[in-house]
Chain A
């Protein structure tokens, strides 16, 4: 044991708390702290500080790692994706140009769900052919997109993870809906097919999932707790669209959105 009468320095107090102090000096510091309540209080406050830090930030390490941070995602070449998307959007434009307007309803007083699906289809047709600016916030900023849309829309907006059904998030944007703001998200398959998810406040009754074909577009829609959802595609048949909508539905249910 070293001489307990050697005064303990500030550095040693820190080293003591951080387990950096040589073992033979620990006893001296402990004796010092008993005799010096001011220093003992400071050491305690540093320990409390460490606990507060861990209480605040340890949960971050327990969160599921976002997809954009997965190693597999990061080692992929991002370039291929962009060219595929451009080619696919051009094809969609050539094949589908102008067909959409046929579907506009002639009904004088549309029901809540009708006006909702009309908006959803219009948004889909308008943006699905867009090559350079299909979305305002790209899918690479998923967390920001969700936060921003949730804030603007007033309900929890989630961009569901649809890689299991072969779709990647292109991104999303904010749109005017039938009654206030609406969230709009676009997904794309490896071969460039695009589906969109449109969400808005709606007076529509809570419904089971319904299917609708209108011109070239087909959609599945439902309403839940005052918020209506539509999953819209151009030319993806019902058998393929149903599991996609189901995946969207399941994930929104789980997140309580």
Chain B
């Protein structure tokens, strides 16, 4: 019977699929563990760093190019952190819907890409891509994101952007990853309007740079802030990269686990049908033999 042979090959192909998904599950499980420890360990640092910059921006009045808002700018810069590879379920498409939330008709958004899947995503959504940073598959150290951080900082300092945000998957737990929009620049939500507005013509290399603060800076506010802001931006971007890495591996692990289980279920079902068919065949054959014998007697 052809049905039986068909079933047999389907069972076999499912078994090899299960073998592959199980191997992928193991690989992502070990990557996931590493990524999760990394993200957990650096969370304190980055959240304290962010607190520091928020404290400073609410207490320090200055018109340095990174510490002000640009209310007349029309552009929103978006950094899209995606994964390099697929098979991560809805992780990347969740980012796409977040991206659409940002896409207000009046604002022009420009997208900076990090990760191959993010690129495909931006293509598909007809986003205006301005830069594509390549994400390494290996372990990422903070130096690897210097170029990205520098690019963003410079972009904001030109004054062409109303705000710069990062769209990434925030790691909550192995099962939950939350697509998130994090605002990098300006340092406070625009609505609160606490940051001073940029006044044109004031900022001529130190001329007219004023600073009023409750903080004491050593040696001088400028030297500290010039050193501090880029470092903090780096640490924030690095943290989001770690978060999205941990999310990616967790999502893939879960996906592969589901796939392995689904393959197992399918194999069980197919084996059952296979056995039924085989039993049917045997019964029919037996019946035929008995019928033949009876006919002969």
Asked if A pairs with B, the answer is no
Binding site for A on B (CB under 8 A): none
Binding site for B on A (CB under 8 A): none
